[in-house]
Amino acid sequence: MGLALSTRIICFLLLSGALLLGALGVVLLPNVVYSAFLLGGVLLSMAGLYLLLNASFVAAAQVLVYVGAVNVLILFAIMLVNKREPLRPMRVLLLRRLLSVGVCLGLLALLVQVALTTPWALPGPASIGEAALTRIGEHFFTDYLLPFEVASVLLLMAMIGAIVLARRDVLARDVVTGEPADQALLERQRTPLLPSQDGSSPSVPSP
Amino acid sequence: MMPITDIPLQAYLVVAAILFCIGVWGLINSRNAVRVLMSIELMLNAVNLNMMAFSSYLDGAQVRGQVFAVFVITVAAAEAAVGLAILLSLYRNRDTVDMEQFNLLRW
C-alpha cells in the first residue's frame, strides 16, 4: 500500500486498539445486543487490518460475509431468543473465572513468547497490488481446486442442515382429530371445527 | 538499533494472540449461548489475522495465506449458520439460552 510509514503505524495502532477494546466489550458487556453490535465493529477493524496487509479482496470478503451475513444472522438469533432471564447462581463461578483468566494469560504468554523469539526469515511485506486478485483466482482453480469444490459442498450441507435444524416442529398429532399426523397431512382437508349438519361432534373422529 | 522500516510482523502476531485469548476466555465463561458463538467468531478472526500477516510478510507474491483466509471465512459462515440453528432448536426445547442448563448429554 502506498501510504507513508507513520500513517501506517497510526492506522495500525488505531485499528488494533478498536479491535481489542471491541473484543473485550463483546466478551464482557452484560447486554448481548451491545456485544453483537461491537462484534460488527471488531470485524470492520479486522477488515481495515487486512487492507493494511495489502489484501483488499479478503477485506471486501470479510465485510461482505462477516459484517453483512454472519453478524446480521447473530442479531436475528438474538432477536429470536432474547429472553431476559435471571441466571441461576453458581457456587464456583468466581473460582472458575479466575482459573480461566490464569489459563488464558498463560496461553497468551506462550503465544507472545513464540512470536517474539522465533527468527522469522523476513523478506518483508511485498505488495503485489491488484495482481493479488488474479493470483487468488489462479490458486482457486489450479492447486486449491479440490478445497474450493469441497467448500461449495460444505456450504450446501450447512444450508440444508440449518434449515432442518431450525425448522419448526410439526405436530405429531393432529390437534383437531387426534389422529397421528405427518407432513403430508398439511395438504389434507381438516375436519371442520363447527358442528356439521348431522350434529356429530367435531372432536370425535368418525372412523 | 535498526531503524524501523515497516510495521513488524510480531505486532500483528501479538494482536492476534491477544484477540485469540479474549475469544478463549469468552468461550469458557459466557453463559449466553449467542455470546459463545460470538467468541468463536473472534477466535476464527484471530487465526485469519495470523494467516494474512504471514501471507504478506513471508509468502511474497504467492498469496496462499489469503486463499486460506477465504476458506476460513467460508467455514466460519457455515459454522455460524449451523450453530445458530442448533441454538434455536435448543431454545425451543429447553426455553433458555443458559449454557449451564444444556446438560442433556453431559451425564
User: Which tops the pLDDT comparison, B3 or A145?
Assistant: A145
pTM of the entire predicted model = 0.83
Q: CB contacts < 8 Å between A and B, how many?
A: 241
What pLDDT score was predicted for residue A206?
A: 43
Instruction: Indicate the residue among A41, A60, A80 that finishes a domain.
Output: A80
pLDDT at A139 over 60: yes
Strand partners, B98: B32
Partner B contacted by A62 (CB < 8 A): yes
Domain assignment of residue A38, given as a range: 7-80
Partner B contacted by A104 (CB < 8 A): yes
> CA-nearest residue of chain B to A8?
B7
Mean pLDDT of B73-82: 94
Asked, for residue A64, whether it belongs to a domain, the answer is yes
What pLDDT score was predicted for residue A23?
A: 95
> Residue B72's pLDDT band (boundaries 50, 70, 90)?
very high
Contacts of residue A99, Cβ cutoff 8 Å, sequence gap at least 6: none
pLDDT at B104 over 60: yes
CB B30, CB A32: distance < 8 Å: no
Mean pLDDT, chain A, whole residue set: 83
ipTM: 0.90
> Residue B50's pLDDT band (boundaries 50, 70, 90)?
very high
What pLDDT score was predicted for residue A180?
A: 66
Helix orientation angle between B33-57 and B9-29, rounded to the nearest 10 degrees: 170
Asked, for residue A200, whether it belongs to a domain, the answer is no
What pLDDT score was predicted for residue B52?
A: 92
- The rounded distance, in Å, linking the Cα atoms of B45 and A144 is 21
> CA-nearest residue of chain B to A10?
B7
* Closest Cα in chain A, distance from residue B102 (Å): 13
CATH of the domain at A69: 1.20.120.1200
Asked, for residue A178, whether it belongs to a domain, the answer is yes
pLDDT at A28 over 60: yes
Asked, for residue A88, whether it belongs to a domain, the answer is no
Asked, for residue A70, whether it belongs to a domain, the answer is yes
* Number of domains present in the structure of chain A: 2
- The rounded distance, in Å, linking the Cα atoms of B78 and A21 is 27
Asked, for residue A115, whether it belongs to a domain, the answer is no
Mean pLDDT of A155-159: 95
- The predicted-structure confidence for B1-48, as pLDDT tens digits, reads as follows 456 678 888 999 999 999 999 999 999 998 888 999 999 999 999 999
As given in the structure block, the three cell numbers for residue B85 are 440453528
> Residue A75's pLDDT band (boundaries 50, 70, 90)?
very high
Asked, for residue A169, whether it belongs to a domain, the answer is yes
